[in-house]
Amino acid sequence: MNKNILAISLFSVFSSVALFSQESTSVNDVDLLTESINISTNSLENSALTQEQINKLDETTRILLADYQSTSKEYESLKLYNDQVQKIINSQLDEIENILFQIDELDKTNQKIVPLMIKMINGLEDFINLDVPFLMSERMDRLANLRTTMDRGDISTSEKFRLITESYKTELEYGRTIEAYRDTIKIDGIDTSADFLRVGRIALTYLTTDGSKGGYFDLNERKFLKSSGSIRRATEDGLKIAAKQAPPALIQIPIYKD
């Protein structure tokens, strides 16, 4: 645009000069020519100033446009972030509601399952007292721990139930295993150290550590009786097998009969 204005102005000047050369050089003509040159010069200066203002305005517009575009991008980025945060918040609120619902349901469940667990512990104790009396200290300690656990608030109901069922599994496992262990037994009113042989739940025999006495538990009479020679020999053989001091072999054991 500036070039066009300059071209027009120069054309005016040249036209004036040409006109001057064709006509007579009178004083009026000189004044007219001078005035034309001054007007053209002023026009050029005004055009340059106008173009400078246009350039500044164009630069300002460009800066504002860049700021607008940058602000728009930042807004879109923040909007995406806020939308994502809102989704997370909504998800957490849903999770809180779900947890509160589960707590409410758990309270209702506890009202039913806690009495059941207490009955299970009592039933396990009755079973042990009626069972063959092997590892009595260990089994009674397990029961005591279960009762203590039931009174603790820092242990979940599910964990309490799991411990009870594990105790039941342990008791069931006794019926399928053979075990040798050392414990004490009252013989003639005296606590005596003895090695016990347990064969499932069908036999429990013992032999004192000095080998002088032996016996077996009679389920019908609910007490230990002195063993005969064959049972003592079977106990000795069974203890050696359980301790892996002898290879597996058939042994005679007392079978309980009603």
DSSP string, 10-24: HHHHHHHHHHHHHS-
What confidence score (pLDDT) does residue 31 get?
61
What confidence score (pLDDT) does residue 33 get?
57
- pLDDT by residue, tens only, the chain of 258 residues: 444 444 444 444 444 444 444 444 454 555 665 665 566 566 655 666 666 777 777 778 888 778 778 777 776 776 776 678 678 877 877 877 787 677 677 767 777 888 999 999 999 999 999 999 999 999 999 999 999 999 998 998 889 999 999 999 999 999 988 899 999 999 988 999 999 999 999 899 999 999 889 999 998 888 999 987 788 888 898 898 888 888 887 777 766 544
What confidence score (pLDDT) does residue 86 get?
77
What confidence score (pLDDT) does residue 19 get?
44
- Residues 175-214 as b/e (b if ≥16 CB within 10 A, e otherwise) read eeeeebeebebebeeeebebbbbbbebebbbbbeeeeebb
What confidence score (pLDDT) does residue 73 get?
77
Would you call 238 exposed, middle or buried from its count of C-beta atoms within 10 A (0-12, 13-18, 19+)? buried
What confidence score (pLDDT) does residue 13 get?
43
What confidence score (pLDDT) does residue 119 get?
94
What confidence score (pLDDT) does residue 3 get?
42
Q: Domain residues of the chain, as ranges?
A: 109-173, 178-242
What confidence score (pLDDT) does residue 20 get?
43
